[in-house]
Structure formats: structure tokens, C-alpha cells
Structure 1
Amino acid sequence: MKKEIKLFIIFILIVIIGIMAWFKAVKPKEEYSNTGENSVKEETLDYEANIGKMPVLLELSSPTCGPCRKMTPIIKEVKEEYKDKVDTHIVDLTKNPEFGDKYKVSVVPTQVFLDKEGKVFFRHEGMLTKEEIIDIINKMGVK
């Protein structure tokens, strides 16, 4: 009887240790939030102030979306290279769901290119390479 109790206690300890190891290995959802190098956090969404001045690129994404996180460094590079020519924003749809409604987003990432007048010039669902983004920007008349 004592041997069975000892085996049961050892079994329970192994299960508890396994559960603790699993919880430590699995990242909680909060760790996928808008932090880190590939975050999808957007500081401000004042793109409408530039309508009439320059085209706008909106990257509509989510912090838990893998392809969105892969797109973030690409969008940041484009934003830096075209900072005086294209107003570029990464929009977290979990914090700004109205953009999902406005641009009828069904898949993330979705890129929306607005011309100088604020009209949709091009809309794409899924990932784009930097070269593809630059090609679209060039077709908008930006060099």
C-alpha cells in the first residue's frame, strides 16, 4: 500500500512538473502584443492630414499574425526610404477596428494604397515584397 502511495505521489509530481514546463514554454498572448522590433504598433493615425499632399500606404495588420510580423520590417524600410514622399502607417486592427470596416478587411495583412486625393489606388491582401510595394508606389507617380 505504501509503495502505491509513493508511486502515485511521484506520478503527480511528474505531471505537475510537466504542466509547469509546458506553461513556461508557451508564450502568453500578451507577449505577441505591440512590442519588439517587428511590432505592429502604430504611434498615431493622422494620415488624413496628408491627404492632398502625398500618397498614403496603410498596412492593416494584427499583432498575432505571423505574416504581419514578417511584413513589419519591410514596411518600416519603405517608410524610411519614402518618408517625404509617401505617408506610411502600420495599423493594428485590434486597436483600430474601424479601419477593418472602412477598408473591408477580411485577411491580414492587407495593404491599402491611397492616392494624393485619398482614394484607393490599389488594395492587396496578403504579403508583398519590398520590391512589389515600391513598384506600386512608382505606379502612383512617386519616384
Structure 2
Amino acid sequence: MSSVSAVTDATFATEVLASDVPVVIDFWAEWCGPCRQMAPIVEELATELDGKVTFVKVDVDENPATARSFGIRSIPTFAVVRDGEVVHQFAGSRPKAAFRKEVERVL
């Protein structure tokens, strides 16, 4: 079972903004090669950092309102939300160690 749940425009507020722990949002789309490349890395870190941070995915094609509210212009883009506020945002695929470093900067 995936440890990364899908979030929609409808569930975003309750699953992300109201979360007790920081949330890493993976803005992606099915057709995006770099997004598919990052998926296993996101899954691995979701398992490794379980309890410290929650990972969610937002399909930008199916949830345009959420993507628009974050100003997403390219994917994959990742945003870290803590206490309802974006504390870090970065784009592009990267090796697991570099991705982990980006996430841990704000934990």
C-alpha cells in the first residue's frame, strides 16, 4: 500500500492545512516523466520519515484550483506546509539524498 495519499481540491484543507505534522505536497501529472521518476523516491521518504512528516500527491490536471493557489508553473514541484503555511517550495527531479535534504531543512 502506498504511504503517499492523493489529495484533491475538495480534501486539501482538511488533509494538508489542518495537519498536525508538516506536509510535503508532490504536485505531479500522469504524463510527466520527471514526476514518475520522483514517485519511488517520494514513496521511500514517506516511509522513512513516517510520523515526522506526511507526504501527499496532487494531480495538477485533476485539481487545478490547488495547483493555481500554489502558483505551480512546472512539475514536479514540491511544497512543504507547516501549520497551514508554505514554509518551503522547490521544483524539479533530484536524487533521493538531495530531495531528503530539501525536506529536512524545514522539519
Larger Rg: 1
Q: Which runs of 5+ in 2 are unaligned?
A: none
> CA separation of 1:83/1:131 partners in 2, compared to 1, >3 Å: closer, same or farther?
same
Q: How is 1:132-143 mapped onto 2 (pairs within 5 angstroms)?
A: 132-141=98-107
Question: What is the alpha-carbon distance in structure 1 between the residues aligned to residue 66 and residue 98 of structure 2?
Answer: 23
CA contact under 8 A between 1:60 and 1:111: conserved in structure 2? Answer: yes
Structure 2 equivalent of residue 37 of structure 1: none
Matched residue SS, 2:21: coil
**Percent of pairs with identical residues:** 27
Give the match for residue 16 of structure 2: 47
Counterpart mapping for 1:14-93 below 5 A: 42=6, 45=11, 46-50=15-19, 53-93=20-60
4+ runs deviating over 3 angstroms? none
Any gaps of 5 or more consecutive residues in structure 1? 1-39
The Cα shift of 1:114 comes to 1.4
**More contact order relative to length (CA 8 Å, sep ≥ 6):** 2
The letter for the 2-side match of 1:42 is A
How many aligned positions are there? 99
Write out aligned runs for 1:120-139 (5 A): 120-139=86-105
- Select the residue among 40, 65, 69 that pairs with 1:98: 65
In the TM superposition, what is the alpha-carbon distance from 1:81 to its structure 2 partner? 1.1
CA RMSD of aligned residues (A): 2.0
What TM-score does the superposition give when structure 1 sets the normalisation length?
0.62
Q: TM-score, normalising length from structure 2?
A: 0.80
Give the deviation of 1:137 after TM superposition: 2.7
Equivalent-residue separation in structure 2 for 1:125 and 1:77 (angstroms): 18
User: 1-side partners of 2:5 and 2:54: how far apart?
Assistant: 16
User: Of Structure 1 and Structure 2, which has the larger fraction of its residues in strand?
Assistant: 2
In structure 2, the residue corresponding to 1:124 is in which secondary structure?
Answer: strand
CA distance in 2, matches of 1:61, 1:41: 13
Which structure shows the higher helix fraction?
Answer: 1
